[in-house]
Amino acid sequence: MTPADGNDPARAGYHDAAMADARLTFDVLARDGAARTGRLTTAHGSVATPAFVAVATQASLKSVPPETVDATGTQLLFANTYHLYLRPGAEVVAAHGGLHRFMAWDGPILTDSGGFQVFSLGAGIEHGVGKVASIFPGEGDAAPAGPPARPGGGLVRVSEDEVEFTSHVDGSRHVFTPERSIAVQRALGADVVLAFDECTSPLHDEAYTAASAARTHRWAERSLRAFVESPPRHGYPQALYGVVQGGAFEAVRRASAREIASMQVDGQGFDGLAIGGNLGDTREAMYRVLDWTVPELPDGPPRHLLGIGDVPSVFEAVERGVDTFDSVAPTRNARNGGVLRRFDDDGTPLASFRTNLKNARFRDDLRPIDEACTCSTCRRFSRAYLRHLLKANEQLGQQLATVHNLHFMADLMREIREAIDAGRFADLKRAWLAPDGAVSDRA
Structural domains present in the chain: 17-327 (3.20.20.105), 340-433 (no CATH)
Total-model pTM: 0.90
Task: Write out the H or E segment, with its range, that includes residue 27.
Answer: strand 25-32
Mean confidence (pLDDT) of the chain: 89
Backbone angles phi, psi at 194, to 5 degrees: -110, 145
Q: Give the separation between CA 254 and CA 289, rounded to whole angstroms.
A: 9
Whether the CB-CB separation of 275 and 303 falls below 8 Å is answered with: yes
Beta bridge partners of 275: 244, 305
pLDDT at 115 over 80: no
Predicted pLDDT at 440: 41
Residue 112 catalytic?
yes
How much is the average pLDDT of 116-132? Answer: 56
Instruction: Check pLDDT > 80 for residue 332.
Output: yes
Annotated catalytic residue, options 32, 112, 191, 197: 112
pLDDT band at 337 (very low <50, low <70, confident <90, very high): very high
Nearest Cα to 201, choosing from 136, 139, 254? Answer: 136
pLDDT at 155: 77
Residues with Cβ within 8 Å of 148's Cβ and at least 6 positions away in sequence, in order, are 128
Which residues neighbour 184 within 8 Å (Cβ) at sequence distance 6 or greater? 81, 84, 85, 90, 114
Structure confidence at residue 127 as a pLDDT band (50, 70, 90): low
Mean pLDDT of 170-193: 96
pLDDT value, residue 120: 60
Residue 61 has phi, psi (to 5 degrees) of: -90, 105
Question: What integer pLDDT is reported at residue 291 of this predicted model?
Answer: 98
Q: Kindly tell me if the per-residue pLDDT of 39 is higher than 60.
A: yes
In the structure, what pLDDT confidence band is assigned to residue 8 with cuts at 50, 70 and 90?
Answer: very low
Question: Using CA atoms, how far apart are residues 425 and 440, in angstroms rounded to an integer?
Answer: 13
**What pLDDT is recorded for position 157?**
87
Find out whether 149 and 126 touch, Cβ atoms under 8 Å: yes
Residue 267 pLDDT greater than 50, yes or no:
yes
Query: What SS3 state is found at 287?
Result: helix
CA 323 to chain centroid, in Å, comes to 11
Is the pLDDT confidence value at 4 over 70?
no
Output the pLDDT for position 21. Answer: 59
Does position 406 have pLDDT exceeding 80, yes or no? yes
pLDDT at position 1, please? 43
- Assess whether pLDDT exceeds 50 at residue 12: no
Selected residue with higher pLDDT from 222 and 136: 222
Which of 38, 42, 40, 49 lies closest to 19, judged by CA?
42
List pLDDT tens digits, range 345-392: 999 999 999 999 999 999 999 999 999 999 999 999 999 999 999 999
- With 70 as the cut, is the pLDDT of residue 262 above it? yes
CA torsion 40-271-406-431 (nearest 10°) is: -70
Q: What is the pLDDT at residue 131?
A: 46
- 165 versus 274: the higher-pLDDT residue is 274
Of 251, 238, 187, the closest CA to residue 59 belongs to 187
pLDDT at 223 over 50: yes
Measured CA distances, 341 to 311, 348, 354, 373 (Å): 10, 11, 5, 9
Banded model confidence at residue 11, pLDDT cuts 50, 70, 90: very low
Classify residue 8 by its DSSP letter.
P
pLDDT of residue 142: 45
Q: What integer pLDDT is reported at residue 427 of this predicted model?
A: 98
Catalytic residue among 197, 310, 323, 326: 326
Nearest to 100 by CA among 203, 232, 199, 208: 232
> What value does the mean pLDDT take over residues 233-248?
97
User: Do residues 275 and 304 lie in contact, with contact meaning Cβ atoms separated by under 8 Å?
Assistant: yes
